[in-house]
Amino acid sequence: MEATAKKRYELTESEIEFIRGNTDLSREEIERWFGEFRARCVDGRLDPDQFLAFYARLFRGGGGGKLNTATQQEKHSPEMVEYGRSVFGAFDTDHSGSVDFAEFVIGFWVRARGSLRDKLAWLFGVYDADRTGYIAQWRLIRAVELLYAIKGINNKSKEGRDDDDDVEEEPYSLVTRLFRTADRNGDGRLSREEFIAGCMRDEKLRRLLAPF
């Protein structure tokens, strides 16, 4: 017996109005994005693996407002897979285990075209993986380690490099510096407001932490 085909998902008027109410996208833009989204996801929901394939292309493309819907299979590094899970959690706002079109397009719009504060508030959700309302220092250090690996950033110690190497600050030092200035009550974790305030003061850090 043949497997049952997935039901083709259609965009509803209420979804269009919801997206328009949370972004500055026009109806035409929403419908164009939907066509690209459905080309990869017929039933209108991305599971973690489908999302990772989408996200990996967004990461490489820089999040400039276009969706790449190529369908070829790709292998992802362990670092991309681990980091991608955190990004998936930020998109999956209803914690359903999948990302629907509205969640995807609103999350992508905030990151690509939202205000700086909105971008940082959304970014907080990437690193608050346990949904506690706080980011632990160790978790942010791990995230920076993953980003360095994914982006091919050189962060060798001083003893292991030549003087002319272009070397970024080590993850532990980078995150410790953020916590030293942003963790106002010294509890070893950052609230949403502490994270936003700290990143507002540090352009280099917030550019590094951006997930695409």
pLDDT tens-place values along the chain, 212 residues long: 444 455 667 899 999 999 999 999 999 999 999 998 888 788 888 999 989 988 887 776 654 445 554 444 567 889 999 999 999 999 999 999 999 999 999 998 998 888 899 999 999 999 998 899 999 999 999 999 999 998 888 765 444 444 444 457 899 999 999 999 999 999 999 999 999 999 999 888 888 887 66
Q: What is the pLDDT of residues 119-150, one digit of tens each?
A: 999 999 999 988 999 999 999 999 999 999 98
Pull the structure tokens for residue 47: 């599971």
Residue 107, classified by CB atoms within 10 Å of its CB into exposed (0-12), middle (13-18) or buried (19+), is buried
Question: Strand, coil or helix: what is 108?
Answer: helix
pTM of the model: 0.79
The alpha carbon of 183 is separated from its chain's Cα centroid by a whole number of angstroms, namely 23
Pull the structure tokens for residue 62: 């820089």
